Structure 1
Amino acid sequence: MASEGNLRVELKSQQPSRNSAQHDATKSSHICPLEMLLHRLKAAKTNQDGKFASIMDALGEFGTFQRRLVTLTFLPIILAAFFTFADIFVFTAQKPYCNTSWILAVGPNLSEAEQLNLTLPRDTNGSLMTCLMYLPVTWDLESIVQFGLNYTQACQDGWIYPESKMRSLINEFDLVCGEEINVDIVLTIGQAGLLIGSLLFGFISDRLGRYPSILLSILGMIIFGFGTAFVNSFQQYLFFRFGALQALMGYIISSVALATEWLMGEHRAHAVILEHCFFSLGILFLAGLAYSLPHWRLLFLLGGAPVFSLISYIWILPESPRWLITKGKVEEAKQVLCYAAGVNKKQIPLNLLDKLQVSEQKMPKASVLDFYNNRHLRKVALVMGCVWFTASHSYFTLSFKMKDFGVNIYFSQVIPGIVEVPAQLCCIFLLEQIGRKWSLAVTLFQATFMNLLILIFPSEFKSIMALMVLLGQFSLAASVTVFFVYTAELLPTVLRATGLGLLYLAWVAGAILSLTLISQNLTISSSLCCISAICALALCSMLPETRDKPLSDTLEHYSLETRSKSKNLITEDTIYDNKTEELAKNTLLNRMTNVDSGATSSRRND
């Protein structure tokens, strides 16, 4: 009996531990499936991105269609550079003299030099005054020559420009003698046009599509770019330039978005680099044309005439299939992809095309407010905004520094244009070897270092200073190219153009601040370049690397990453396109419920 009692006591004592072991085993049996389901959920978005990557692999990564697309989208960049920097060559300095043709009524055989000597007063140094003339008289020519004229007045009948070899805006609209223009104001109006264009066309491109946005920008270049040659006043000129720069910015943003979404891997980066090379070539084209033409209207007529050939883009330019999918236009996306496959002489398997199914109630929603609400977009906007501000401020500061060396206006544009092309081509090597983030850091550090040397180096050594300015522009050209590639890859398709437009706010802010500080003190401007660059370099470490990563189409990927890191895996507003993801989610919830129920039952039994 005692042994039986002891046995009961022993069995009773082992019962809780046995129940605990059973509960642990039950819990353990669910851990592995839970982890597998968790991994499946985290990989769900990657699989969504992989769908399009698989289709593009079947289509051909860089076939005839993609090469033609790159050519079509980036040839107009030459015209964009032409219209952007045309102001530099139409405001050439002109020396005016009052129009005193009244004396020709009494002396029709007078030469121009004799006319000016008789009718214009002279300054203390003996040179003819430009904004004053002698009061006209009714004397004969002999009396005027013998006694001379004494009373002066401001120019009454306009001005002449005997020393001018080129017809510019200054002598076209007599912007002299109290009517002089402030070049900084003209540049500020231009930056305002670029800013409004970036915001407006960024919104249009993401709402209506890349294709209509590009067509609208081409229409703007025709009306406001080419139409500048026919303006009748300086105010009209400013208005047309404002409109043209809006259209140019819209084209740049939309074309970058279109090329980025059609190309894969390093081809995407190469296309953006090629765009920047074409932009530099456009500056060289502009300088050569401006040097050879004697009239500013001819410059806009001949330089802007090729824009009419872009009308053909109505029939030959494709829409972005990524954008079509995000808007639920799956059938249109399939048609575009099949057409591209036909051009490449490829065939996309039907099972891949069938995966492009997005129900209307699950279409991704996005707005500009996501740049504040979404943590990833907020981080990208702040960091890249700092980078864009730094690059812009440094670019305009170095450009102003170049003027101190007395370089001819044409060479001041040709030399940087020649320097920028190899800098942009070097980005191909950097992006392939060290990735986007480190390429941006390296090029930005080089530009900062050059700015620092310029700041502390004695200004007497002009040849060395000129070399450092060129090296700084070389590094900045590479940096601008890299952050265009990097920014386009960081932003999702639904907000890519809008994001590029918003970030241009930082570029304009850097440009305007640079123009303001340069007129006050160049040292302060250079110091700010160094400080902002150090901040940008520090912030770059916060961004993820995008090399060899698929593009994100929606914001779900970033939201899923954030939730998984905080161990809050599923929320009510999470949307999935694949039914297996929904099944996985439900299974995960059931598993978690079963685990909790099992634990509750075990505690009750205990």
Structure 2
Amino acid sequence: MEITLAGHAVWGRRMCERNVACLNRACSDAESQSVTFDLEVIDFNNNWVSNAIPKTSSGSLDNCRRFVQNVSYIPSSNDFCPATMFDQQIITECEEYIYENRNTVVYDFGLACNEWGRTSISTMSALATFISLPLTGFISDRWGRKTAFTITVFSSSVFGLARYWCTSYHIFIILGFASTIFNGGYYPTAFILGTELVGSKYRVFIGLLLNIGLALGEIVLGLVAWAVPHWRNLTLLAYIPTLTIVLFWVAYTNPVRWYISKGLYKEAENTLINIARVNKKHLSDNLITILKRAREEQMKKEGLEREERKKEPWLVVQVWQHKPVLIRCLVSPVWWITFTFIYYALAINSVGILGIRQPIHNVYIAVAVIDIPGHIIGYLLLHKVGRKPVLSGGFFVCAASQISYLFVPNELYAVSLTLYLIGKCSSSVMIITTYVYTSELYPTRYRQSLVALSSMIGRIGSTVSHITPALGDQLPYILYACLATIAGTLVFITPETFGSKYTDTMEEASELGSIFHKSKRQESDN
């Protein structure tokens, strides 16, 4: 199971949970003289609070502002802090705050109404993924998948664990940035490691299992946070177990394909022998000779391809010359930006929906659980309905649920939560569909580069998602709906790839979905 960037981002938001109110000395000090009173565990529902604090557009009490005290007010013994004590025409910023929860980063670093200060914690972590992806890719290709996975998880755990002793807000952000430089890349490494160990027939299934593992990791994290509410103790329990990744180095191996690509035939042979022994299979005695011959043929093929590419125009020029492919290069990044933005934003904001009346652990866990049926539904529909209906349907269902969420009264918690979960489930469908569909739209020779382009641009969505808590109560959901509607509509201008074979050249990719391509596919099937 994995506690990945989504889990870290959400619980960065959880650690920064803000249930605060203005401290009104005039009323609080007077109240403290008549009853047993502790400013740190004050009842937020005192009768006089509504007289002293304005309400927001959503009807809840403002956390960061208060009414100015009326200078002409004459104290009366009959009423305690009445409305006449305050000038409700003049609103000012709070000078002091009362914290309902002292287990958070907000309390430790005094971030009560510093919305950008809180969102910066997760935003900086998201920016670190732009460094983590190429860094992890370099380590993975140079020293192996096992090495990359071990280094990224262990290093991320060390930097993350160091935040337990952190007493400075800025050092806290720097350590989070450093941690994400490594943990932002271990999911792609795990994906490559898993898919290279199986045949092409099972690669989509491996992706499904990894996504389910991600959701299970978030559920476990939610349960742990429910049992251990203080953010420092939660940090210990989240990171200490991942230090055991060093055992992975001993117990696991690199994929055979990687060994062969590096000319390490003896290591590849030993790995295959171990696999065969577990599966009770017999291998040829001249296995190394077969592996070397296969590698030589592969190198010869790659050499011919390199010679051909020298004669070909640059990839940018080729894309420009093939307009159908150019359109896909413009459209697919929009899908990636949209699903990453919505998926991470809904996860991050899950701990703040429905107000403080709902246990945030229950909501967070429910949002994590819903990812599992979302991934399974996407996987099943991809093999039954096709790519375009599933992807566009996921976007449109998400847009409809987010717009509906805005019009549901706060009192209807069950309805609001259901709509929120539908949106999150739809975003999970988008993830698995976008990965599969995008890879099928491009020719084999340039698939890695063009899919990587969409993925890299898509990181804009996950980065921006971390500032959505600072955008208010309604604007984020309007953005979800608008982006999902645009992305879903753009699906209609790309071809259906369900049942089509992978294309190899730009010309074949340009014909994808056309009558000519379908007739050629039928001929090859026959």
TM range (shorter): 0.5 to 0.7
**Matched-pair contact (CA < 8 Å) for 1:202–1:498:** no
1:395 equivalent in alignment to 2:320: no
Deviation at 1:298, TM superposition (A): 0.7
Q: Which runs of 5+ in 2 are unaligned?
A: 26-33, 41-47, 54-62, 66-94, 513-526
Structure 2 counterpart of 1:93: 18
Within 1, Cα distance between the matches of 2:5 and 2:481?
32
Structure 2 counterpart of 1:529: 483
1:337 equivalent in alignment to 2:272: yes
**Cα 1:540/1:299, change in 2 over 3 Å:** farther
Structure 2 counterpart of 1:538: 492
Q: Which of 353, 357, 374 is the aligned partner of 2:296?
A: 357
Within 1, Cα distance between the matches of 2:227 and 2:203?
37
Within 2, Cα distance between the matches of 1:378 and 1:258?
31
**Matched-pair contact (CA < 8 Å) for 1:454–1:465:** yes
Structure 2 counterpart of 1:16: none
One-letter identity of the residue aligned with 1:446: V
What secondary structure does 2:167 align onto?
coil
Alignment map for 1:169-318 (pairs within 5 Å): 169-176=105-112, 182-318=117-253
Residues 104-163 of structure 1: CA deviation (Å, up to 9, x unaligned): xxxxxx9984999xxxxx999579x999xxxxxxxxxxxxxxxxxxxxxxxxxx9997x6
Within 2, Cα distance between the matches of 1:206 and 1:372?
25
One-letter identity of the residue aligned with 1:481: I
**Cα 1:505/1:383, change in 2 over 3 Å:** same
1:433 equivalent in alignment to 2:381: no
One-letter identity of the residue aligned with 1:405: L
**Matched-pair contact (CA < 8 Å) for 1:198–1:502:** no
One-letter identity of the residue aligned with 2:174: F
Range 470-479 or range 374-383, more displaced: 374-383
Structure 2 counterpart of 1:468: 419
What secondary structure does 1:86 align onto?
helix
- Structure of greater Rg: 1
What secondary structure does 1:246 align onto?
helix
Deviation at 1:185, TM superposition (A): 2.5
One-letter identity of the residue aligned with 1:85: V
Range 219-228 or range 335-344, more displaced: 335-344
Deviation at 1:339, TM superposition (A): 3.2
One-letter identity of the residue aligned with 1:284: I
One-letter identity of the residue aligned with 1:209: G
Range 248-257 or range 78-87, more displaced: 78-87
**Matched-pair contact (CA < 8 Å) for 1:221–1:307:** no
Range 269-278 or range 482-491, more displaced: 482-491
**Matched-pair contact (CA < 8 Å) for 1:286–1:303:** yes
Within 2, Cα distance between the matches of 1:164 and 1:461?
22
Percent identity among equivalent residues? 22
Structure 2 counterpart of 1:577: none
Deviation at 1:440, TM superposition (A): 3.4
Alignment map for 1:68-107 (pairs within 5 Å): 75=1, 77-78=2-3, 82-93=7-18, 95=20
1:422 equivalent in alignment to 2:368: no
Deviation at 1:307, TM superposition (A): 0.6
What secondary structure does 2:254 align onto?
coil
Q: Which of 484, 496, 500 is the aligned partner of 2:435?
A: 484
**Cα 1:475/1:298, change in 2 over 3 Å:** same
Structure 1 counterpart of 2:524: none
| Structure with the larger RCO, 1 or 2 (CA within 8 Å, 6+ apart) | 1
Deviation at 1:255, TM superposition (A): 0.9
Within 1, Cα distance between the matches of 2:171 and 2:156?
16
One-letter identity of the residue aligned with 2:206: A
Structure 1 counterpart of 2:76: none
Give the root-mean-square deviation of aligned CA atoms.
Answer: 4.7
**Matched-pair contact (CA < 8 Å) for 1:79–1:304:** no
Q: TM-score, normalised by structure 1?
A: 0.60
One-letter identity of the residue aligned with 2:354: F
**Matched-pair contact (CA < 8 Å) for 1:440–1:479:** yes
**Cα 1:174/1:262, change in 2 over 3 Å:** same
What secondary structure does 2:122 align onto?
helix
What secondary structure does 1:167 align onto?
coil
Within 2, Cα distance between the matches of 1:243 and 1:493?
35
Within 1, Cα distance between the matches of 2:386 and 2:142?
31
**Matched-pair contact (CA < 8 Å) for 2:121–2:176:** no
**Matched-pair contact (CA < 8 Å) for 2:129–2:184:** yes
Structure 1 counterpart of 2:515: none
One-letter identity of the residue aligned with 2:236: L
1:507 equivalent in alignment to 2:458: yes
1:446 equivalent in alignment to 2:397: yes
One-letter identity of the residue aligned with 1:386: V
**Cα 1:562/1:470, change in 2 over 3 Å:** closer
Within 2, Cα distance between the matches of 1:523 and 1:328?
52
Within 1, Cα distance between the matches of 2:197 and 2:499?
16
Structure 1 counterpart of 2:71: none
**Matched-pair contact (CA < 8 Å) for 1:328–1:358:** no
**Cα 1:531/1:94, change in 2 over 3 Å:** closer
Q: TM-score, normalised by structure 2?
A: 0.67
Within 1, Cα distance between the matches of 2:64 and 2:395?
47
Range 426-435 or range 247-256, more displaced: 426-435
Range 495-504 or range 272-281, more displaced: 495-504
Give the paired residue count. 439
Within 1, Cα distance between the matches of 2:255 and 2:326?
25
Within 2, Cα distance between the matches of 1:451 and 1:160?
33
One-letter identity of the residue aligned with 2:431: V
**Cα 1:512/1:360, change in 2 over 3 Å:** closer
**Matched-pair contact (CA < 8 Å) for 1:228–1:240:** yes
Structure 1 counterpart of 2:90: none
Deviation at 1:244, TM superposition (A): 1.8
